Amino acid sequence: MKKQLVATVFTALVGLSGSAMADEMVFTSWGGTTQDAQKTHWADSFTSKTKIAVIQDGPTDYGKIKAMVEAGSVTWDVVDVEGDYAVQAGKAGLLEPLDFSIIDKSRLDPRFVTDYSVGSFYYSFVIGCNKTAAGACPKTWADLFNTVKFPGKRAFYKWSAPGVIEAALLADGVAADKLYPLDLDRAFKKLDSIKADIVWWDGGAASQQLLASGEAPFGSFWNGRLTALAATGVTVETSWDQNITAADSLVVPKGAKNKKAAMKFIAHATADMQQSQFAMETGYAPTNLDASRLMDEAVRRTLPDMQAKSQVNADMNYWAVNRDEIGKRWYSWQAK
């Protein structure tokens, strides 16, 4: 009987080793300078505080999340995803509900909080230009779609997500407050007009390479990637005119092995100090409402939440509902 009891206790402890007793966890994000900053300001300080090692993986892959959950073999614990995906995946049963007894959501931007996700950082799609490589820099979305006035290749985000379709409609004269529901026929007609001149980027690092090399001397970019690129000495010009905003989110895939460690990591990553440090390095805005008081004012003025004059907010709930339908048409159009 005593041996059986010992065996039972041992088995229970082994079962807990992936969660309550975890000494490591896996964090997955988009790579490049953004994940470098997440590692420095979130993961490394989390490890110092908790002694839980954070293994880095990536890039984020929604198909892989779905496959892992359905197979019952989840190797990622916390994943940085786009906000509309977080809403959609939560409703689809692919995510663990967050433990708000561990994660303090009271000081997080409520726009980016759901039962399954909290905002990771707040960003804008902006018009970026390599001034050395370009003859002239476009200032508006209409300029970016004008291949006569601004000849050459232009870079756009490859995946079906908020940003490009909105930019096409704004370039075609749709008012910002009339964007939704998205007029896909009109958007694709406008995209047809520059399709031969588009170079697609599938991640932030690739977008920076396109701009720095001059392969695409201008285009649509995440604002923080331009901040990082400018810091390397590239002559970057950023236009905030009608910048299109959205937020990334932190989620825990359903069946994550180190769930308790994941909740602690998210609590740490969204605290005011960690959010402020990440924002100052990357140029992305914090989702913690108290982070701004810890930031240098000169840096603060360069972040997306301070560029509200002509800002356009992407509708994450609309995209969550319509993402798959839009995606089918998007990828079919790209393939033609």
- The tens digit of pLDDT for each residue in 153-167 reads 999 999 988 999 999
Q: Please give the model's pTM, rounded to 2 decimal places.
A: 0.80
What are the φ and ψ backbone dihedral angles of 163, each rounded to 5 degrees? Answer: 135, -65
Instruction: Write the single-letter amino acid at 328.
Output: K
| Closest to 220 (Cα-Cα) out of 170, 266, 317, 154 | 154
Instruction: Return the SS3 of 92.
Output: coil
- The tens digit of pLDDT for each residue in 30-55 reads 988 899 999 999 999 999 999 999 99
What are the angstrom distances between the C-alpha of 120 and each of 103, 138, 266, 313?
A: 13, 30, 9, 17
Percent of the chain with pLDDT over 70: 93
DSSP 252: -
Structure tokens, 252: 């825990």
DSSP 41: I
| Closest to 240 (Cα-Cα) out of 201, 285, 272 | 285
Please report the domains of the chain, with CATH numbers, ordered by start residue: 2-122+248-306 (3.40.190.10), 123-246 (3.40.190.10)
Dihedral class, residue 201 (left if φ above 0, else alpha if ψ from -120 to 50, else beta): beta
| Closest to 234 (Cα-Cα) out of 218, 245, 222 | 218
